[in-house]
Amino acid sequence: MGIFIGWLTGILLIVGFQFFWWRRLKADYDEMAVTGMGWLVAIVYGLGGVLGVLGDRTNVGNVLGWWSPYLFQPVWGLVLAQILIVWMAWIRDWKIWSMAQDVMIGLYSITGIIQLVQVIFGQGKFYDLLITLVSFGIYRYLSLNYRRWAWYASGKKGFVFFAVNAIYFMAMGVNWVLVGGGVGEMIKIGLLPTMSLIMSVGLFMLGRQ
């Protein structure tokens, strides 16, 4: 039953994300390019989630875990998908940080839903889900308010992208350090604070422009 629900949830999330992606970007960019990129982002998200189980203390080397909702780490899908979005926007000369900020809420929503399903079936970590939900709330708050702040005079898009990701990656890294794991998992844990630092630097540079 869990595997069936995992597959069904995945299919519904892919369809929902493609519609969200298309609605969000179709007015500003070529629709065919937007659609193709949306499918590529979905594939990379899935790949990141599968690779995310590598090195876990209980799932060492389980690269065939894609069929199970229990052996999927959506946080790494979120990380890889956002890296892909930034890179693709850069090579296509699109508005990188504006685009990344506009679509990140879709990726966070997918991540939260997958984590919720995993928690329901007793295979997910409640604190992972809680951090994602809090980050979702921070995104909503910042999106509505950051342009009103006098100290951020430029009001440029990208502020929310850098700020939310910096908070999320650091919080998730600290959470996983407390949980512990195998050598491979500890390497991945170290990457999250690094990503948070990169986002913090990006946030500082954006504010200086």
**For the segment 83-130, what is each residue's pLDDT rounded down to a tens digit?**
999 999 999 888 888 889 889 999 999 999 988 888 887 766 788 899
* Separation between Cα atoms, residue 154 and residue 207, nearest integer Å: 7
Q: Both tokens of residue 204?
A: 């500082």
- How sure is the predictor about 49, in pLDDT bands with cuts at 50, 70 and 90? confident
* Separation between Cα atoms, residue 32 and residue 43, nearest integer Å: 17
Cα separation of the two ends of the chain: 52
Judge residue 192's burial from the number of C-beta atoms within 10 Å of its C-beta, 0-12 exposed, 13-18 middle, 19 or more buried. Answer: buried
Would you say 68 and 45 are in contact if contact means Cβ atoms under 8 Å apart? no
Instruction: Report the 10 Å Cβ neighbour count for 9.
Output: 17
Q: What is the pLDDT of residues 4-48, one digit of tens each?
A: 666 677 778 888 888 888 888 888 888 888 888 989 999 999 888
The residue type of 146 is Y
Kindly give, in sequence order, each residue whose CB lies less than 8 Å from that of residue 49, ignoring residues fewer than 6 positions away.
72, 73, 74, 76, 77, 114
Would you say 163 and 142 are in contact if contact means Cβ atoms under 8 Å apart? yes
Q: Both tokens of residue 39?
A: 């499918």
Would you say 89 and 116 are in contact if contact means Cβ atoms under 8 Å apart? no
Q: Report the pLDDT value the prediction gives residue 124, as an integer from 0 to 100.
A: 67
Q: What percent of the chain has pLDDT over 70?
A: 78
Would you say 69 and 121 are in contact if contact means Cβ atoms under 8 Å apart? yes
Where b means 16+ CB within 10 Å and e means fewer, 108-137 reads bbbbbbbbbbbbeeeebeebbbebbeebbe
Give the global pTM: 0.83
